Chains A and B, each alone.
Chain A
Amino acid sequence: MSSALERPAWSRRRALSWLRGVTITIVCLVFVLPIVWMFAAAFKTNVQVTDPSVGLIFSPTLDNFRNVLADGEVLQSLRNSLVVGVASTVLSAIIAVPAAWAVGRFRMRRTGSLVLVARIVPAISLLVPWYYLFAQAGLVGSYTVLVLSHMFVSVPLILWIMIGFFEGLPVELEEAARTDGLTVFGAFWRIALPLAAPGTTTASVLAFIFSWNNFMFALIFSDETTQTAPVTLFNFISYASTDWGGLMAAATLMTVPVVIVAIVGQKFLVAGLTAGATKG
Chain B
Amino acid sequence: MAITQTSAPARAPLPGKPRARSFEQANRRLKWAMLAPSLAFVGLMIIFPLVFTLNLGFTDAFGAVNADKDYVGLRNFGDALTDSRRFWPAVQRTVLFTIGAVLLETVLGLALAMLMRKPFRGARWVRTVLIIPLLTTPVAIGILWLLILDPTNGIANHLLASVGILPQEFLGSVSQSLPILMLIDVWQWTPMMTLLLLAGLSTLPAEPEEAAHVDGAGVWQRFRYVVLPMLGPTLATAVVLRSIDALKTFDLLYATKGPGGGSSFEAETLNVYAYGLTFDYQEYGLASAVLVLFTLAIIGVVILLRRRPGRRSA
Name the residue on B nearest A159 (C-beta). B38
CA distance A230 to B52 in the complex (A): 28
Name the residue on A nearest B282 (C-beta). A128
Contact with B along A243-280 (1 / 0, CB 8 A): 01001100100110011011100110110011011111
Instruction: Given the known inter-chain contacts A114-B42, A274-B195, A274-B199, please indicate yes or no for A205 contacting B288, CB distance below 8 A.
Output: no
**Chain B neighbourhood of A37, CB < 8 A:** 144, 147-148, 155
Chain A residues 176 to 222 lying within 8 A of chain B, measured CB to CB, are 181-186, 188-190, 193-194, 197, 200-201, 203-205, 208-209, 212-213, 215-216, 220
Partner of B45, one of A152, A186, A193, A254: A152
Chain B residues 189 to 233 lying within 8 A of chain A, measured CB to CB, are 191-192, 195-196, 198-200, 203, 233
B46 within 8 A of A: yes
Name the residue on B nearest A114 (C-beta). B42
Chain A residues 17 to 65 lying within 8 A of chain B, measured CB to CB, are 20-21, 23-24, 27-28, 30-32, 34-35, 37-38, 41, 49-53
B265 within 8 A of A: no
Q: Are B136 and A102 in contact (CB under 8 A)?
A: no
Q: Are B287 and A128 in contact (CB under 8 A)?
A: yes
Name the residue on B nearest A89 (C-beta). B1
Q: Are A237 and B13 in contact (CB under 8 A)?
A: no
CA distance A133 to B44 in the complex (A): 10
**Chain A neighbourhood of B4, CB < 8 A:** 193-194, 197, 200-201
Q: Are A24 and B187 in contact (CB under 8 A)?
A: no
**Chain B neighbourhood of A23, CB < 8 A:** 115
**Chain A neighbourhood of B39, CB < 8 A:** 99, 111, 114
**Chain A neighbourhood of B72, CB < 8 A:** none
Partner of B1, one of A86, A155, A248: A86
**Chain A neighbourhood of B157, CB < 8 A:** 52
Q: Are B53 and A273 in contact (CB under 8 A)?
A: no
A171 within 8 A of B: no
Partner of B294, one of A122, A229, A270: A122
Name the residue on A nearest B284 (C-beta). A128
Q: Which secondary structure characterizes the binding site on chain B?
A: helix
B165 within 8 A of A: no
Q: Are B274 and A121 in contact (CB under 8 A)?
A: no
CA distance A112 to B38 in the complex (A): 11
Partner of B137, one of A86, A120, A213: A213
A15 within 8 A of B: no
CA distance A212 to B1 in the complex (A): 14
Q: Are B131 and A270 in contact (CB under 8 A)?
A: yes
| Residue contacts A-B, CB under 8 angstroms, 14 given | A21-B120, A116-B302, A118-B42, A124-B291, A129-B49, A129-B56, A132-B65, A152-B46, A181-B15, A184-B30, A190-B8, A193-B5, A261-B135, A274-B195
Q: Which A residues have a C-beta under 8 Å from some C-beta of B?
A: 20-21, 23-24, 27-28, 30-32, 34-35, 37-38, 41, 49-53, 86, 89-90, 93-99, 101-103, 106, 108-109, 111-114, 116-133, 135-136, 148, 151-152, 155, 159, 181-186, 188-190, 193-194, 197, 200-201, 203-205, 208-209, 212-213, 215-216, 220, 229-230, 233-234, 236-238, 244, 247-248, 251, 254-255, 258-259, 261-263, 266-267, 269-270, 273-274, 276-280
